């Protein structure tokens, strides 16, 4: 299952909105963390278009990577 990660940061004049498509929960969580650190408000969905809670992505990513 793939993920679509989208972020919005209206204070960022160059890229106020951004989106990425990734394949794994680990990649999705890395992108979420990166965007949030950059001040973006982040939302995620599956590649099928179903919204996914960011906490669910984090749990899936950590269960694959371990502590």
Query: What tens digit of pLDDT does each residue of 38-61 get?
Result: 999 999 999 999 999 999 999 999
pTM comes to 0.88
Give φ, ψ of 8 to 5 degrees.
-130, 135
d(CA 33, CA 50): 20
Residue 65 pLDDT > 60: yes
pLDDT confidence bin for 23, thresholds 50/70/90 = very high
Instruction: Specify the pLDDT at position 66.
Output: 58
> Which percentage of the chain shows pLDDT scores above 90?
93
């Amino acid at each position: 299952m793939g993920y679509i990660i989208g972020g919005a940061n209206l204070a960022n004049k160059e890229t106020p909105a951004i989106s990425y498509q990734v394949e794994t929960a680990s990649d999705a969580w890395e992108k979420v963390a990166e965007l949030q650190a950059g001040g973006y408000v982040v939302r995620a969905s599956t590649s099928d278009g179903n919204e996914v809670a960011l906490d669910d992505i984090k749990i899936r990513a950590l269960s694959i990577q371990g502590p």
